[in-house]
């Protein structure tokens, strides 16, 4: 992997509530990353106009991360709308189940046959299934369970069940025709082994430069970086460190 390819693996999360700040960060990072993520915060505050701005003015593709999770009919409609926005990728939540995921894929395929949508979308957007939120953990499963967990062995069983749920969701996403999943670095290697080579893995929650390398070595195709860029005075420097770390990790993986 060369440095240009390593840059393209980086998705900068524009998690801001004003378009001005988001546009400033996008302009700074444009030569140094491969894609921008628009999540619920920015999309709710600004609306679809930010996607057009990032795509056409800044000049990079957009990853729309709204994690659609509703009835199959509703998610199908939302997926069709996402296709019309001309995004590169968008997310639905695997917890919505197989009917919802297959409805999303079918809706996007049908939407791409419509001239109005084809005119605004260079290609079919990739649909990614979110296996679990990065803030979610096995303890949440324990809290939701009716079974009291008091012993270490039982806690391990809960963690194993959580791990199984994440992996099962990834496999169901593949079966439903989704293009990939969003999953933490903890599961990237397992998903890569279990799913087809072309199945995309996007790893969010990259809070350290080293974590990006770990995710790539594990099989991730993209890493999502938000906090590292927001909390530094030198986002270009951080992007450069990430580029070298990702390139080195890919080289070690191929060795």
Where in the sequence numbering do the catalytic residues fall? 65, 67, 70
Any binding-site annotation on 15? yes
Element (H, E) at 181: strand 180-182
Any binding-site annotation on 37? yes
Dist CA 145 CA 139 (whole Å): 10
**Do 36 and 12 meet the contact criterion of CB atoms below 8 Å apart?**
yes
DSSP 125: P
Secondary structure (3-state) at 155? helix
| Token representation of residue 184 | 């933490």
Dist CA 24 CA 223 (whole Å): 21
**Do 89 and 129 meet the contact criterion of CB atoms below 8 Å apart?**
no
- Comparing C-alpha atoms, which of 86, 70, 114 is closest to residue 78? 70
Handedness of CA 91, 207, 171, 180 (dihedral sign): positive
Q: What are the DSSP calls for 21-90, one per residue?
A: HHHHHHHHHTTT-SEEEEEHHHHHHH-THHHHIIIIII---EEEEEEE-S-HHHHHHHHHHHHHTT-SEE
Task: Collect all residues with Cβ–Cβ distance below 8 Å to 205 and sequence separation of at least 6.
Answer: 134, 184, 185, 211, 224
Any binding-site annotation on 227? yes
Annotated binding site: 15, 37, 134, 226-227
Query: Could you tell me which residues are annotated as the binding site for substrate?
Result: 15, 37, 134, 226-227
């Amino acid at each position: 992997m060369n440095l240009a390819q390593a840059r393209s693996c980086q998705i900068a999360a524009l998690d801001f509530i004003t378009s001005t700040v988001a546009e400033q960060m996008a302009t700074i990072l444009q030569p140094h990353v491969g894609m921008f993520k628009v999540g619920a915060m920015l999309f709710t505050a600004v609306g679809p106009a930010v996607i057009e701005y990032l795509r056409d003015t800044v000049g990079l593709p957009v990853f729309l991360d709204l994690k659609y999770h509703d009835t199959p009919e509703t998610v199908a409609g939302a997926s069709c709308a996402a296709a019309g926005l001309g995004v590169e990728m968008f997310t639905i939540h695997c917890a919505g189940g197989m009917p919802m995921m297959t409805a999303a894929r079918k809706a996007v395929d049908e939407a791409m046959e419509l001239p109005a949508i084809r005119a605004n979308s260079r290609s079919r957007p990739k649909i990614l299934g979110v296996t679990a939120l990065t803030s979610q953990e096995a303890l949440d499963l324990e809290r939701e369970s009716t079974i009291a967990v008091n012993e270490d062995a039982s806690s391990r069983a809960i963690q194993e069940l959580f791990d199984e749920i994440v992996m099962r969701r990834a496999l169901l996403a593949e079966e439903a025709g989704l293009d990939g999943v969003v999953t933490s670095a903890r599961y990237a290697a397992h998903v890569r082994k279990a799913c087809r080579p072309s199945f995309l893995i996007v790893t969010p929650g990259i809070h350290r430069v080293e974590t990006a390398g770990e995710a790539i070595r594990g099989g991730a195709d993209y890493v999502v970086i938000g906090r590292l860029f927001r909390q530094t005075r030198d986002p270009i420097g951080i992007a450069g460190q990430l580029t070298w770390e990702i390139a080195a990790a890919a080289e070690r993986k191929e060795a």
